C-alpha cells in the first residue's frame, strides 16, 4: 500500500494530470472553418494588427514605444550612455517578447545602423549597417546607447497628462499609449510592417520640408502639400526619379511606388565607377551578386572587376572598367538590370483611434495636427489646474497674512494639534486645504519680504490662468502653439536633403543594342532656331542654303555624328542633345525647329548651340546688357545622369547680349549702344563653376547704355588695337577713331557667332 504524502509535500505533475479533466482533450472534433477562423485565428490577427506591425499616429509601433519610454525612464535622455544589455533588460518589464527582438528593435532605431533619416538612439559600437546584408551588429553586452537629442521632442511634457497611460502586461508599472511628439514623426522615418491581411510601408521625408508643410497646412487647409514637400528623402540618399503625376497619386491615396537610383561618380584616373549611395530597398551585397551574375552570363563585358570598398567613411562599391568603356552608358545598363535602380512601395497604413486606415500625406498630416492639438489641450489644461490649485492656496495665505498675529494666537491657544486646522478654518473662513497649507508655513517665512513675494505670485498666477483659459478657448491660439513648436524643431534638428530629385522627363532613354555610327558632319544653326546636320558628301554637292524668310545662319560648326550638343535658350535654360538625335539633311531643306524637337517650354527658343566634349574642356562666355561678363567652365554642364534639361544655365539678372564658346583664352571685342568699343583677353576674367553666376563688370556703362554686340577679335580689325585694349576690368572703352570707322563700314558681325 502506497504511503500517504505529507501535507507539506507538493503534488507531483503526474498527480495533477491524474486529477485534471480537460473537456474533449485528445478527441477529433468537426468544426466549421468559419468558427475556426473566428475563435482561433481572429484574436491572433487582431493582436498583430493593433499591437505589433502597424504604426500609430505618433509614428511608433508598440515595440519602439516601449523601448524608447524605458530609456527615458532610465534618464538616458540627459545622462551618458549605458550598456545596451542594461536597456534590453529594463525594457523586458514592458515588452515580454525576449531580449533578441528588443535589441534588434534598438539597433534599427540607432544612428550607427543608418536605417532611419532621423535616428532616435545615440549609439556607440558596432550596430551593423542597414545597407549591408553581411555587416552584423555586435552583441548587446559590447555596445552602448542613450537617447538621441531629438527624443526631447518625443517626451516633452509627457508628465503633464498629455497622453493616456495603461498598465504593462503584469500590471506592475504604467506605460504611455502614445508619445506626445511635437513633429509629424509618422512621416519623418521609414516604417515597414507586415500584419495579417494588411501591411504598412511608409517612406521618410525631409524634416524641414515636413514641418514647413505642416505649418502651411495649419494656416491653410487648402494648401497643396506637394509644393512644399516635393518628394521623400531617404537616409541613403540616391536619386529619386520624379514623376509629378505619380507622386500626386501617392500623396492623394497613400499608395504607389517611387523609383530610386544609385548615385555614382566616375574616377577617370583609375577608370572606375564609385557607387556611394544606393536605393533603400537593397543592400551592397545583393547589388554586387547581381552584377557578378550578369558578368558571368556574358551580358556585361565592359567590367573588369567589382569589389566592396565600404569602410568607416561609409558605403562604396567600386566597378573597374575596361578601356574605352563609356561609364554613363554602362550605368544605364546596370540601372535596367540590377537593383541599382529599385522601387520603394508606399502603403501609408496607420492606426487612427484603434482602426487601420490608408491615408494620403495631407490626410495623415491633418490627423497628426488633431492629435497634437489634443496633446497641447491636455497639457495646458494640466498646467491650468495646477495653477488654480496654487492660486487657491495663496488666496488662503493672503487672508492669513492680513492678520498674522491672529493666526499665531489661534495656533498658540489651540491645545490639541488636530484642532489647529479646524480653528484656522473657522477663524479666517478658509477651507481645509488652505488651512493645511497655512499650518505648514515655517516661522522664518512670517516676514514682510516673504509676504510681498506671495502676494505678487497671486497677481502672476491670475494673469497666467487668464492666458491659459484664453488659449484653450481659441483655436487660432492653439494653432499658434503647434506652429511655434514646429518652428523650434526646424531650427534645432533640420538637415539638408540627402536624396536628389530628378524628373523622369529629363532622362534620356538609351537603346543598349543600338550602335550609332560616327562620321564627320557640319552643323548649321540659324537666328530663328532652326538646326541642320549635313554630311561632308552632301555639303560638297549642295547649293545655296534654304532658310525661312528673313532668317540667317548664325553658327557653322564642324563636328561628328556622336557629338554632344548644348542648346541655350532665352529662358536661361540649356537642353542637352546628341548630333545623332537630328537626321542627316541637305542644304535644300529648312532643317529641324529646335524648340519643337527638344520639347521646350511654350514661347521658349534656342539662341545658341555649343558642342560639349566628354572632359568638359572649354568655357562659355555670357555677356549681359548691364555690362557684365560671366565665364563658366563647360565642365559645369556635364552630368552623371542623362538629363535633357538643366535649369539656371546662366544668370537671369540682366538680359543676355551674347554667348560665345571658347576652347582657350582669346581676344574679345565688346560694343555698346553708345558706340564705344572694348578689347580684352578672356584670361583676365576668372572662370566660375556656378552656372548662373552674375559675372563681373567688364564695361562701365552710362545710364541708358547697354552692350549691343560681342565678337571674337579679328587681326586687322582696328588700325591701333591699343586704343581699345585693356588689361583690367571694368573699363569705359573708347570711341572709334576715324580710320576704324571707315573699316567698320565694310564689315558686319553677329552677336551670337561662334
Residue 471 CA to residue 461 CA, distance in Å, equals 15
Strands (E) located in 505-648: 520-526, 530-535, 553-560, 564-569, 574-578, 592-593, 606-612, 619-624, 628-633, 645-646
581 HSE (CA, 13 A, CB side): 21
Q: Name every residue whose Cβ is closer than 8 Å to that of residue 486 and which is 6 or more positions away in sequence.
A: 182, 183, 211, 212, 214, 215
Place of cell 509676504: 451
**Whole-angstrom distance, CA of residue 19 vs CA of residue 275:** 70
Which three three-digit cell numbers place residue 292?
Answer: 557578378
Alpha-carbon distance 217 to 230, whole Å? 15
- Residues 111, 114, 120, 126, Cα dihedral to 10°: -40
Task: Map 133-173 to HEC letters.
Answer: CCCCCCCCCCCEEEECHHHHHHHCCCCCCCCCEEECCCCCC
Pair type for strands 355-358 and 500-503: unpaired
Whole-number Å distance between alpha carbons of 523 and 567: 13
CB 60 within 8 A of CB 101: no
Q: What are phi and psi of 231, to 5 degrees?
A: -165, 165
The residue behind cell 552630368 is 639
Q: Which of 44, 142, 169, 519 is catalytic?
A: 142
Backbone angles phi, psi at 446, to 5 degrees: -85, 55
Residue 592: CB atoms within 10 Å: 18
Q: How far is CA 265 from CA 69, 146, 268, 277, in A?
A: 43, 36, 10, 10
Q: Is the dihedral of CA 92, 97, 103, 107 positive or negative?
A: negative
Tell me the CA distances in angstroms from 520 to 562, 587, 609, 661, 673, one per residue in order: 9, 16, 17, 20, 40
CA geometry: angle 274, 278, 279, nearest 5 deg: 160
Q: CA 361, 367, 370, 375 torsion: positive or negative?
A: negative
Does 142 qualify as catalytic in the annotation? yes
Active site positions, annotated:
142
Amino acid at each position: 500500500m502506497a504511503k500517504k504524502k505529507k501535507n507539506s509535500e507538493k503534488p507531483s505533475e503526474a498527480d495533477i494530470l491524474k486529477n485534471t479533466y480537460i473537456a474533449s482533450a485528445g478527441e477529433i472534433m468537426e468544426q466549421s472553418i468559419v468558427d475556426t477562423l473566428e475563435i482561433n485565428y481572429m484574436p491572433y490577427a487582431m493582436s498583430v494588427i493593433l499591437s505589433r506591425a502597424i504604426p500609430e499616429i505618433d509614428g511608433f509601433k508598440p515595440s519602439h514605444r516601449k523601448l524608447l519610454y524605458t530609456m527615458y525612464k532610465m534618464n538616458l535622455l540627459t545622462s551618458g550612455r549605458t550598456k545596451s544589455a542594461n536597456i534590453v533588460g529594463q525594457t523586458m518589464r514592458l515588452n515580454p517578447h525576449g531580449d533578441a527582438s528588443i535589441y534588434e528593435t534598438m539597433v534599427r532605431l540607432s544612428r550607427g545602423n543608418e536605417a532611419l533619416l532621423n535616428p532616435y538612439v545615440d549609439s556607440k559600437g558596432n550596430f551593423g549597417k542597414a545597407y549591408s546584408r553581411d555587416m552584423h551588429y555586435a552583441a548587446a553586452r559590447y555596445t552602448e546607447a542613450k537617447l538621441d537629442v531629438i527624443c526631447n521632442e518625443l517626451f516633452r511634457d509627457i508628465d503633464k497628462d498629455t497622453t493616456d497611460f495603461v498598465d504593462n502586461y503584469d500590471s506592475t508599472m504604467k506605460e504611455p499609449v502614445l508619445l506626445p511628439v511635437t513633429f509629424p514623426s509618422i512621416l519623418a522615418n521609414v516604417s515597414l510592417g507586415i500584419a495579417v491581411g494588411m501591411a504598412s510601408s511608409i517612406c521618410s521625408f525631409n524634416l524641414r520640408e515636413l514641418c514647413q508643410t505642416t505649418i502651411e497646412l495649419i494656416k491653410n487647409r487648402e494648401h497643396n502639400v506637394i509644393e512644399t514637400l516635393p518628394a521623400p528623402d531617404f537616409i541613403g540618399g540616391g536619386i529619386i526619379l520624379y514623376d509629378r503625376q505619380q507622386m500626386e497619386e501617392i500623396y492623394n491615396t497613400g499608395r504607389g511606388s517611387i523609383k530610386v537610383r544609385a548615385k555614382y561618380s566616375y574616377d577617370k584616373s583609375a577608370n572606375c565607377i564609385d557607387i556611394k549611395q544606393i536605393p533603400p530597398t537593397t543592400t551592397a551585397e545583393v547589388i554586387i551578386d547581381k552584377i557578378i551574375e550578369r558578368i558571368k552570363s556574358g551580358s556585361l563585358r565592359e567590367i573588369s572587376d567589382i569589389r566592396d570598398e565600404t569602410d568607416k567613411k561609409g558605403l562604396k562599391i567600386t566597378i573597374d572598367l575596361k578601356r574605352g568603356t563609356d561609364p554613363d552608358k554602362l550605368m544605364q545598363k546596370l540601372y535596367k538590370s540590377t537593383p541599382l535602380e529599385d522601387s520603394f512601395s508606399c502603403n501609408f497604413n496607420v492606426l487612427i483611434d484603434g482602426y487601420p486606415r490608408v491615408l494620403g500625406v495631407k490626410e495623415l498630416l491633418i490627423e497628426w495636427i488633431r492629435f497634437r492639438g489634443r496633446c497641447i489641450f491636455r497639457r495646458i489644461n494640466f498646467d491650468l489646474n495646477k495653477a488654480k490649485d496654487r492660486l487657491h492656496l495663496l488666496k488662503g495665505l493672503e487672508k492669513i497674512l492680513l492678520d498674522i498675529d491672529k493666526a499665531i494666537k489661534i495656533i498658540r491657544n489651540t491645545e490639541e494639534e488636530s484642532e489647529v486646522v479646524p480653528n484656522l478654518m473657522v477663524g479666517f473662513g478658509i477651507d481645509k486645504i488652505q488651512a493645511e497649507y497655512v499650518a505648514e508655513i515655517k516661522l522664518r517665512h512670517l516676514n514682510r519680504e516673504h509676504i510681498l513675494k506671495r502676494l505678487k505670485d497671486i497677481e502672476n498666477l491670475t494673469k497666467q490662468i487668464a492666458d491659459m483659459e484664453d488659449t484653450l478657448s481659441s483655436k487660432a491660439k492653439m494653432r499658434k502653439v503647434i506652429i511655434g513648436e514646429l518652428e523650434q524643431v526646424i531650427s534645432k534638428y533640420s538637415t539638408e536633403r540627402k536624396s536628389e530629385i530628378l524628373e523622369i522627363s529629363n532622362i534620356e532613354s538609351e537603346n543598349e543594342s543600338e550602335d550609332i555610327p560616327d562620321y564627320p558632319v557640319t552643323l548649321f544653326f540659324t537666328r530663328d532656331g532652326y538646326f541642320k546636320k549635313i554630311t561632308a558628301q552632301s555639303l560638297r554637292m549642295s547649293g545655296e542654303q534654304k532658310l525661312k524668310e528673313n532668317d540667317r545662319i548664325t553658327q557653322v560648326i564642324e563636328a561628328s555624328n556622336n557629338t554632344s550638343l548644348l542648346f541655350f535658350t532665352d529662358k536661361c535654360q540649356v537642353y542637352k542633345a546628341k548630333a545623332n538625335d537630328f537626321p542627316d539633311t541637305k542644304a535644300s531643306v529648312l532643317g529641324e525647329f529646335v524648340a519643337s524637337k527638344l520639347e521646350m517650354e511654350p514661347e521658349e527658343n534656342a539662341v545658341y548651340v555649343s558642342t560639349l566634349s566628354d572632359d568638359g574642356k572649354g568655357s562659355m562666355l555670357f555677356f549681359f546688357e548691364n555690362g557684365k561678363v560671366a565665364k563658366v567652365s563647360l565642365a559645369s554642364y556635364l552630368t552623371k545622369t542623362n538629363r535633357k534639361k538643366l535649369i539656371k544655365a546662366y544668370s537671369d539678372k540682366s538680359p543676355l547680349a551674347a554667348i560665345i564658346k571658347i576652347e582657350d583664352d582669346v581676344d574679345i571685342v565688346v560694343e555698346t549702344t553708345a558706340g564705344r568699343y572694348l578689347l580684352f583677353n578672356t584670361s583676365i576674367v576668372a572662370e566660375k563653376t556656378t552656372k548662373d553666376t552674375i559675372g563681373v563688370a567688364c564695361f562701365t556703362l552710362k545710364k541708358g547704355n547697354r552692350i549691343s554686340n560681342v565678337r571674337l577679335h579679328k587681326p586687322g580689325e582696328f588700325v591701333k588695337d591699343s586704343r581699345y585694349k585693356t588689361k583690367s576690368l571694368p573699363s569705359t572703352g573708347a570711341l572709334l577713331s576715324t580710320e576704324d570707322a571707315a573699316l567698320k563700314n565694310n564689315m558686319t558681325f553677329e552677336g551670337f557667332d561662334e
